[in-house]
Amino acid sequence: MSARRTQQAHTLVADVISAGDIAVDATAGNGHDTIFLARCVGPRGRVFSFDVQRQALAATEAAVNTLDPVLACRVELILDDHAILAARLPPAMRGRVAAIMFNLGYLPGGDKQVTTRVESTLAAVHAGAQLLRPGGLITVVGYVGHASGRQEVDVLEEMLQDGSSPLAWREHDAHGAPSNAPRLFAGIKSQG
């Protein structure tokens, strides 16, 4: 189910991103979203890939270089909390980012005690909304199988229902899914 949600997120992003665009992988992990975004933005585009773990960035760098070293020149790896992504991107990027992807939880194969946290994820989503261009998209894959993941999904559900975000949020394909299945949320910035 996790791979299905990630593929759905890729499909949503592919509809809004083009060659030459700017994108952010807010949770680099093992590099799958970074690679996808680097392919989408093409040789003139840029991907900023964040993670708080050196191990994750090393895995992302190795995956990019192994798969297609040409992609590496499109990617900037950033060892930092995604909560401050707006401060780490060049000021000229504000309002120009096409897509931001989050795949929450812990690093597969890594320390399961090191997870994304609701406070930093919420700060990153709010900052990301300010970085997006009109029509830009944020996707969030959340996992309810561990305590911090459940908290993150609960906050995303609240945001979806209370309308406090500048993005139009919706949850994708939640009906009929098992209660412990990963969840996919997507928020798009209005065109006007």
Highest average pLDDT, of 111-115, 149-153, 185-189, comes from 185-189
> How do 183-189 and 132-142 pair as beta strands?
antiparallel
Q: What is the pLDDT of residue 119?
A: 84
Map out the domains of the chain with their CATH numbers: 2-189 (3.40.50.150)
Q: How far apart are CA 49 and CA 33, in angstroms?
A: 9
Q: Is 185 helix (H, G, I), strand (E, B) or coil?
A: strand
pLDDT of 6-28, one tens digit each?
899 999 999 999 999 999 999 99
pTM value is 0.91
**CA angle (101, 126, 75) in 5-degree steps:** 35
Q: Pull the structure tokens for residue 84.
A: 């401050």
Of the two residues 155 and 64, the one the predictor is more confident about is 64
- pLDDT score, position 112: 64
Q: Any idea of the CA torsion for 49, 38, 183, 187, to the nearest 10 degrees?
A: 90
CA distances from 46 to 25, 38, 105, 133 (A): 11, 7, 25, 15
Task: Give the model confidence (pLDDT) of 36-74 as tens digits.
Answer: 999 999 999 999 999 988 998 999 999 999 988 899 999
In this structure, are residues 190 and 168 in contact, taking their beta carbons and an 8 Å threshold?
yes
Average of per-residue pLDDT values in the chain: 87
Q: What is the model's pLDDT at position 1?
A: 47
